[in-house]
Amino acid sequence: MTDHDISTADAFALLSVSDDDPGGFNRRQFLKMIGWGVGGGLAMGSLGASVFPDLMPGQLRQAWATGPIGPTDGVLVLVGMYGGNDGLNTVVPHGNGLYYDYRANIAIQPAQVLHIDNNVGLHPNLTFLKSLYDQGQVAIVQGVGYPNPDLSHFNSMATWMYGRSDTNLPTSGWVGRWLDGASGGADLFKAATVGSSLPLHMIGLNNRGTTIPEWGLDFGGGASDSDLRLYNAIRAYSAAGAGRGPWHDMIARTEHGQIDVAQTVAPVFSTPLPDGQLLKRMTVAARLINADLGLRVIDASYDNFDTHSAEPNGHGDRMAELDAALQAFFTAIDPRFQSRVTVMTFSEFGRTPWSNDSMGTDHGTSNNHFVIGPSVRGGLYGQQPSLAGLDRWDRMDFSVDFRSLYASVLDGWLGGGAGTVLNGSYENLNLFNPLSPGGGGGGGGVPASSTAPTDFVGLVPFRLMDSREGVGGPRAPFGQGMMRRLQVTGNGGVPASGVLAAVLNVTAVGGSAPSFVTVWPAGVARPNTSSLNTRGGDVVPNLVVTMLNGAGQASVFNNAGSGHCVVDVVGYFTTASAARFTSLTPARVLDTRSGLGAPAAAVGQAKSIDLLVAGRGGVAADADSVVLNVTVTEPTAAGFITAWPAGAAMPTASNLNFVAGQTVPNLVISKLGTGGKVSLFNSTGSTHLIADVLGYFRVGSGAQLIAMTPARLLDTRTDGGASHPVGQTPLVLPILGRQGIPSTGVVGVVLNVTATEPTINGFVSVYPNGEALPMASNLNTVAGVTRANLVIAKVGVDGAVAMFNSSGTTHLIAEVVGYFTA
């Protein structure tokens, strides 16, 4: 501890307004001033000299007028970890040998760490938090700090609570200043601290939060006849001026408000609370949110993080309490508010990279913090502090200014104002997905109108996510079992409302192990389906049609290993009037090997062809968009193909990826451009291209899509309790009347078809049952390799589709994601 420092408890006390602060007026003082002589009061005012102007006659704020939070309002719960949490033993750099060299007596061994990736993981007591991380609901912000720290508890707490970089005396806090600028005027029920005193960060220049002790507010909350008679008398006493002067009237009105508050929050304390400081406070916080009083910020902090000695046990207990408190909090939250809450941790500083001889650590600098909730864009942000070249008393450098953490929360979750609150411009880390009206259910839930018929709008492809570059989320690979939420609406030309489903081109890049990726509507349980399969180390694309939740989001899940993911949006389905679908029996419109639709020559490097589609293969001359199965064959080098409307600028997107010598198909839905054409670009080497048309969209006539959460219709590995691989006899797959598909009125179906365990190379065709096998393919098989491709198929007159395997045997899996109804 530095010479000029004081204890954590003393520092917090000096930076808070307590119940007996002269600016707070406890219950005895209040009633004594107005002549009652016995108990009940309210801690009002601000810090230090700013208190009395707040209480002067004529300036009393009429507080405690509660109301529900707005339809798109988020609630922030702050968890202060006072004393200086050890970030290195919270987010453990288990892949860094220096960590074990510097901390031989307190380091957490790799086998104990809850691994996130090959570099970092969580403290072993954070099992619930790890489960949330795996669901994509935890942002870990690494390397948080600020310039020139002095390592004292008091100054460091004051800096974090103040939230500005200037050298002025901190007489207000960052949440308090947000309250000053919040819409709706003064309202003490916008923010509250669960505890016995109000810390500086909850106090503004003109507004402030309130204090709700975790044991409840005794005065005003009683239910006995004598209590109620007293409360009613005080209300009557304050209803009109008593002619005894403005101070008397002000205090009477304040007592009225105290009673209203106590009676409002009394149900929160009607059932017993668990033991443990943070566990109790987080349970109270959850109950306050469920009461829908209009609270936007709740402070629920705890202490004892100043681990100068015996850290493994002491810090381990702190982590266990944090984990239990988070689990209790999220379990207690009403489903109406599940997507509306975010928890953020903070601490005045981190700890030293080296441990000491007492199995502890000393005051440090850079730290790691959590932002937690269903609307958080989960993943790793910032950089893990470097340990290279540090001597025993050196401190780690920071990579993220703590005011960037605040700015991200203010602008991304609390509605804005970071520049004013923080008195400067700080990087927004883009930690959040937007809220939708009537959220809940883990992120907006599946909208009630998810079964509504929808029309299609095609787009020039737009990149929504690229985990390699930090687009649409953190710049980090998807780890094993990791899920991230993808915000679709409001991006790339997709409207903010009225969109029920999206068409996405999803590409898995460079996975470390064989895996599968699943895409489904956010806010519902992950289905037992897959959208694409990877072998590890390869680049695999697939088109995905996915329903969205009420917030316009989809979830993306990686099953195994670690790899990157790229997502481009190519269109969307809307309840507004747009283009409708006509399904076709597959017809070939391009084969550069034979000269069909283009010259008989491979497409060269960085070359493109314009493919005429309108008026060919059954496509209407005035079609707006077209459904093509595009196949690369005989490529000479690894590369990608991009499809887009002819005449438009080529987008930064790809539709399918390939390696030399590989035959790769992918479904493409492309808006038609100039002259009814689609442009196809080859990035590298040379390759032949094949395209089969499966249907088209046009304004004015056709079928509408009803999107679904993915559901399995076929798995020849297990159907009927036995394995039935498909040979050269077409398999008939009934569609109508299954998995929620109607038994009538369906003209087309959207399937994700996977071939697995093929014995030799070949192809699979899907077509209307009862019709002749077309000269077209939907996916190409490679011996021993699992491959998937999206299929939009016309349904035969008997309500079924046929599936043909060209060579050897293969197992087939089919999952429905939607259907077209006339």
Q: How far apart are the first and last CA of the chain?
A: 75
Q: Which long-range contacts (CB under 8 A, 24 or more apart) does 271-279 make?
A: 273/214, 274/328, 276/321, 276/324, 276/325, 277/302, 277/303, 277/321, 278/79, 278/302, 278/321, 278/322, 278/325, 279/321, 279/324, 279/325, 279/328
Query: Kind and range of the H or E element at 413?
Result: none
Distances (CA, A) of 529 to 481, 623, 629, 711, 815: 14, 32, 22, 7, 7
- By the 8 A CB rule, do 625 and 671 touch? yes
Identical fold, 446-577 and 579-699: yes
Single-letter amino acid code for the residue at 793: A
CA dihedral 708, 665, 493, 138 (to 10 degrees): 60
CB 139 within 8 Å of CB 431: yes
Per-residue pLDDT for 396 more than 70? yes
Rounded CA separation 444/28 (Å): 47
Residue of 578, 477, 415 whose CA lies nearest to 72: 415
**In this model, does residue 447 exceed pLDDT 90?**
no
Within 13 Å of residue 298, how many CA atoms lie on the same side as its CB? 28
- Asked if 100 contacts 74 with a C-beta cutoff of 8 angstroms, the reply is no
At 19 the pLDDT is: 43
CATH assignment of 703-822?
A: 2.60.120
Whole-number percent of the chain with pLDDT over 90: 50
- Retrieve residue 779's tokens: 């996916």
Retrieve residue 427's tokens. Answer: 């990087």
Look at residue 38 and tell me whether its pLDDT is greater than 70.
no
Highest mean pLDDT among 53-57, 149-153, 597-601, 648-652: 597-601
What CA–CA distance (Å, rounded) separates 769 from 784? 28
Cα distances from 69 to residues 292, 298, 447, 565, 790, in angstroms, run 7, 13, 21, 36, 42
Describe the crossing of helices 225-238 and 246-265 by its angle, rounded to 10 degrees. 140
Q: What is the pLDDT of residues 306-340, one digit of tens each?
A: 999 999 999 999 999 999 999 999 988 887 788 88
The CATH number of domain 67-226+276-392+402-422, selected from 3.30.70, 3.40.720, 1.10.3470, 3.40.50: 3.40.720
Cβ proximity of 731 and 806 under 8 Å: no
Q: Which three-class secondary structure state does DSSP give residue 247?
A: helix
Whole-angstrom distance, CA of residue 500 vs CA of residue 475: 28
Q: Which residue has the tokens 């259910």?
A: 441
Cα–Cα distance, 159 to 169 (Å, whole number) = 10
Q: Is the pLDDT of residue 232 over 60?
A: no
Could you state, in order of their start, the residue ranges of all structural domains in the chain? 67-226+276-392+402-422, 446-577, 579-699, 703-822
Q: Give the pLDDT score at 48.
A: 27
Q: Supply the mean pLDDT for the chain.
A: 83
For residue 334, give every residue at least 6 positions away whose Cβ sits within 8 Å of its Cβ, in sequence order, or none.
289, 290, 440
Residue 33 pLDDT grade (very low, low, confident, very high; cuts 50, 70, 90): very low
Determine the Cα–Cα distance for residues 767 and 792; give it in Å rounded to an integer: 9
Strands (E), 700-810: 704-715, 731-734, 746-756, 762-768, 779-781, 787-794, 800-805
Indicate whether 39 pLDDT > 60.
no
CA torsion sign for 219, 222, 225, 228 is positive
Return d(Cα 607, Cα 702) in angstroms, integer. 35
Q: Let me know: does 812 contact 755? Beta carbons within 8 Å.
A: yes
Residues contacting residue 126 through CB under 8 Å, at least 6 positions apart: 90, 114, 319, 322, 323
Each residue's pLDDT tens digit, 467-517? 988 888 778 888 877 888 889 999 999 998 889 999 999 999 988 999 999
Domain 579-699 classified CATH 2.60.40?
A: no
Confidence category of residue 184, pLDDT binned at 50, 70, 90: low
Among 208, 50, 85, 75, which Cα is nearest to 157's?
85
pLDDT tens for residues 536-585?
888 888 899 999 988 888 989 888 888 999 999 999 999 999 999 998 88
Backbone angles phi, psi at 11, to 5 degrees: -60, -45
* Other beta carbons less than 10 A from residue 784's beta carbon: 12
The single residue listed with the structure tokens 């009927």 is 720
Do 409 and 415 touch, CB atoms closer than 8 A? no
CA angle 150, 152, 155 (to 5 degrees): 80
Rounded to 5 degrees, what are φ and ψ at 645? -65, 130
From the list 423, 305, 309, the residue with the least C-alpha distance to 356 is 309
pLDDT in tens, 275-313: 889 999 999 899 888 878 788 999 999 999 999 999 999
pTM: 0.53
What's the whole-number mean pLDDT along residues 521-541? 84
Confidence of residue 439 (pLDDT cuts 50, 70, 90): very low
Q: Which two tokens stand for residue 574?
A: 């809307």
| pLDDT tens per residue across span 89-125 | 999 999 999 999 999 999 999 999 999 988 999 999 9
Q: Are 396 and 365 in contact (CB under 8 A)?
A: yes
CA distance 505 to 527: 19
- Residue 167, judged by CB atoms within 10 A of its CB (0-12, 13-18, 19+), counts as exposed
Kind of pairing between the strands at 539-547 and 625-633:
unpaired
As a whole number of angstroms, the distance between CA 79 and CA 193 comes to 10
The domain 446-577 is placed in CATH, from the list 2.40.40, 2.60.120, 1.20.140, 2.60.290, at: 2.60.120
